[in-house]
Amino acid sequence: MTEQETIKKKQAPKSQKEVVILIRDLKKAFGDKEVLKDISLELDKGENLVVLGRSGSGKSVLIQCIVGLLKPDGGSVKVFGEDVAGMSDKQLKDLRIRIGFLFQSGALYDSMTVRENMEFPLTRVLKLKDQGEIDKRVAAVLESVGLSDAIDKMPSDLSGGMRKRAGLARTLVVDPEIMLYDEPTTGLDPITSREISELIISIQKKNKTSSIIITHDMECARIASDRVLILTDGEFTKEGTFDELLKSKDKNVASYFNII
Amino acid sequence: MAEEIVVPGYKRWLGSIGDQVGFLVDFFRNLFAGGFEWSEFVRQCYEIGYRSMLLVGITSFIMGVVLILQLRPTMISFGAASMLPKTLSVSFVREIGPVIIGIICAGKIASSIGAELGSMKVTEQLDAMDVSGANPIQYLVVPRILATSIMVPVLSVLGDAIGLFGGFLALNLRDTISFKLYFTKVIASLDFSDFLPALVKTIFFGFAIGFVGCYKGFTSNRGTESVGIAANTAVVTASLWIFVIDAIAVQITSLLFY
Ligand SMILES: Nc1ncnc2c1ncn2[C@@H]1O[C@H](COP(=O)(O)OP(=O)(O)OP(=O)(O)O)[C@@H](O)[C@H]1O
Ligand SMILES: [Mg+2]
């Protein structure tokens, strides 16, 4: 059996577990550049899946396909059992409410203060009216990322790391069932990175959130992952727990772990 | 970023027409979908209207002065100096005011909307809004297009008044004409059929400015240089639309009123 087949076999549906994201043979190209060639993956409920891969290997493209920001060229993406490609605008919107997406850049709305950024999904998406409850949720989520003091600042007055944490807070404020983190710790100092990694774990514990975490940060992968996938040239080439991969003799895999 | 797929020019052009129609449909669907963003609309009216007032005021004033100074020798040689207020008011209100003010607003407003939304696109803010389940058309596009459709006519009426006042001052450089007489002449020379088509025309100017600005911003590419491109093409396209709408409006007006 080739390595590819082993991976597919390992990912065959496990009946006792609830699968929240199921991707089969996903393909995506830009022009004649094939970014994703043949991606299959499964995410179980409550699981933290870390995706490792070099810069430009298509990690961001992968999670953008999951929320329908990019249209796949082939294969299928099912979330909560529904095919994303076949969804109406309404269905897609309802799905997106249940998924939190942390952008690599944070993507704060820069015409709004941090507070307004946090309130935006509460008032516009969840349509909350009770200002007391809104204030409470905003304060709690900012507290959890350590940004309580920055509540009335504009995004342009925040440091890069603070923007990232604010972006994270904005996706968390609606308590999503699935979280897609695009490099949650990149550009942060080691101490903050560690706090974010631990935050990811506590989110998983608290809400039984299922997550895909894209990262280059091995410390984050070590702390947060239940399972690790390695993306090389548009395909997953390795799968295993962090400790399994750490022991791997495969050169490609070892090159990620050497840097610790 | 990645390689562009090479598509023949005409196909791209047709595709972009299709996209624009789609964007227009999206706008109207969201306009009547409920959940109107009042506070954002008011903020945009302020940004768009109030902040353009000085510019529109100064240019209109100068246009009024210059037109009188230019027209005066010719009118006098025809022995028609007393017709100056009428000539100015009719030409200003019907044509010069709306078009000049439309072009100025295209330069100021379409570019700033294009740049603002373009930079939101580049920094993934539009994607973030979309992915959160909020509706960027509802929140960003509808208030902006409505605000331009209302504020450009308002600015244009204001510009007309200031331009005519400039004309009055310019007349008084050489002759003396009382304020009351001047404005009586101005009002008397203006017909409903001068004023109404001009006003309706500026609503369309405003719509075109808002629409083009939003569309160019939303469809800008990734990469910082595309923000500049979005702003720039928004101005050029909106200005072009103003002349096209003006040409169409003149045909319709003459069919209806003369
Ligand atoms: N919208 C797009 N249009 C065209 N090409 C794109 C687009 N998005 C991504 N690409 C291309 O796809 C490839 C993979 O990009 P992607 O952003 O997924 O990389 P990544 O793995 O997230 O890298 P990094 O770790 O640097 O973020 C890149 O070559 C990029 O140029
Ligand atoms: Mg990326």
* A124:B2 CB<8 A: no
Q: Kindly indicate the confidence band of residue A50, based on its pLDDT and cuts at 50, 70 and 90.
A: very high
Residue B222 CA: which ligand 1 atom is closest?
1
Residue A57 sits at the chain B interface (C-beta within 8 Å): no
Global pTM value: 0.88
Helices A160-172, A131-144: inter-axial angle, 10-degree rounding: 130
Residue A256 above 90 pLDDT?
no
Instruction: Among A91-100, A188-197, B164-173, name the one with the lowest average pLDDT.
Output: A188-197
Supply the residue whose CA is at minimum distance from atom 27 of ligand 1. A55
Q: Give a yes or no: residue A206 inside a domain.
A: no
Which amino acid, residue B95?
A: E
Polymer length in residues for chain A: 260
Residue A140 sits at the chain B interface (C-beta within 8 Å): no
Residue B4 above 60 pLDDT?
no
CATH of the domain at A67: 3.40.50.300
- Could you tell me which residues are beta bridge partners of residue A27? A74
Classified as helix, coil or strand, A126 is coil
What is the pLDDT, as a whole number, of residue B3? 47
Q: Give a yes or no: residue A174 inside a domain.
A: no
Residue B191 sits at the chain A interface (C-beta within 8 Å): no
Longest Cα–Cα distance of chain B, Å, equals: 70
What is the pLDDT, as a whole number, of residue B177? 84
Residues of chain B in contact with residue A93, where contact means CB-CB under 8 angstroms, are: 133, 135
- A60: CA distance to ligand 1 center in Å? 6
Annotate B45-96 with DSSP letters as a single string: HHHHHGGGHHHHHHHHHHHHHHHHHHHHHHHHHTT-GGGHHHHHHHHIIIII
Q: Give a yes or no: residue A40 inside a domain.
A: yes
Q: Give a yes or no: residue A175 inside a domain.
A: no
Query: pLDDT per residue over A155-196, tens digit each?
Result: 999 988 889 899 999 999 999 999 999 999 988 888 888 988
Distance CA A193, CA A199 (A): 10
Q: Give a yes or no: residue A158 inside a domain.
A: no
Classified as helix, coil or strand, B1 is coil
* A107:B4 CB<8 A: no
Domain enclosing residue A78, as ranges: 1-98+215-260
Q: Over range A40-68, report the average pLDDT.
A: 92
Classified as helix, coil or strand, A236 is strand
Residue B175 sits at the chain A interface (C-beta within 8 Å): no
Query: pLDDT per residue over B22-67, tens digit each?
Result: 999 999 999 998 888 999 999 999 999 999 999 999 999 999 999 9
- Measured in Å, how far apart are chain B's first and last C-alpha atoms? 56
Q: What is the mean pLDDT of chain B?
A: 91
Q: Give a yes or no: residue A83 inside a domain.
A: yes
Place of tokens 């439309």: B102
Pick the residue from chain A with its C-alpha nearest to B4. Answer: A31
Residues of chain B in contact with residue A58, where contact means CB-CB under 8 angstroms, are: none
The total number of structural domains in chain A stands at 1
Which amino acid, residue A181?
A: Y
Distance CA A99, CA B251 (A): 53
Pick the residue from chain A with its C-alpha nearest to B1. Answer: A30
Q: Give a yes or no: residue A170 inside a domain.
A: no
Nearest to A21 by CA among A181, A211, A161: A211
Which residue in A30, A31, A107 is closest to B123 by CB distance?
A: A107
- B12: CA distance to ligand 1 center in Å? 23
Residue A61 CA: which ligand 1 atom is closest?
18
Q: Over range B2-29, report the average pLDDT.
A: 81
Residue B129 sits at the chain A interface (C-beta within 8 Å): yes
Q: Over range B56-82, report the average pLDDT.
A: 92
Residues of chain A in contact with residue B130, where contact means CB-CB under 8 angstroms, are: 69, 96
Query: pLDDT per residue over B189-246, tens digit each?
Result: 888 888 899 999 999 999 999 999 999 999 998 888 999 999 999 999 999 999 999 9
Question: How many alpha carbons lie under 13 Å from residue A219 in its C-beta half-sphere?
Answer: 15
Instruction: Among A14-28, A39-53, A218-232, B240-254, name the one with the lowest average pLDDT.
Output: A14-28
Contact B119, B227 (CB under 8 A): yes
Q: Over range B117-143, report the average pLDDT.
A: 94
- Could you tell me which residues are beta bridge partners of residue A76? A24
Nearest to A29 by CA among A88, A89, A71, A87: A71
Q: Give a yes or no: residue A113 inside a domain.
A: no
